[in-house]
Structure 1
Amino acid sequence: MPDDLPVILHHFDESPFSEKVRLVFGLKKIAWTSVRISRIMPRPDLMPLTGGYRRTPVMQIGADVYCDTQCIFRELERRFPAPSLFPGGSEGLAWASAMWTDKSFFQNSVNLVFGSLADKVPQSFIEDREKLRGAKFDIAAMTAAIPQMRDQYRAHVGWIEAQLAGGGPWLGGHEASLFDINAYMNVWYVRSNLPVADELEAEFPKVRAWEARVRAIGHGTRTEMSTAEALEIGRSATPQTIEADDPHDPNGRKVGDLVDVRPDDYGRVAVRSRIVALSAQGIAIRRRDDLAGDVVVHFPRAGFQVMPAT
Structure 2
Amino acid sequence: MQILRKGAFFMDEYEIEEKCQSYEVTDFQHNFEIEHPTTTLQQWGLHIHSNHYELLVFIRGNAECWIEGRRKKLEYGDVVIVNPREIHRIFILDNAEYERIVIHVSDSMLKELSTAQTNLLRVFHKNRAHILHLSEEEMAQFVSNQLQMKKMWKKKEFGADLLGSAWFQILLLQISQKMRQAEGSGAWESVAGLVGEALEYVNAHMTEDISVQDIADALNVSRYYLSHAFKKSTGYGLWNYVISKRLVYSQKLLVEGASVTEACYESGFKDYAHFIKSFTKTFGCSPKQYGKNDASIYTVKLNAADAAIDRDSRCIYIHDEAKFINKELKN
Is the structural similarity TM-score above 0.5? no
Q: Which has the higher helix share?
A: 2
TM range (shorter): under 0.3
TM-score (ref. length: structure 1)? 0.26
TM-score (ref. length: structure 2)? 0.25
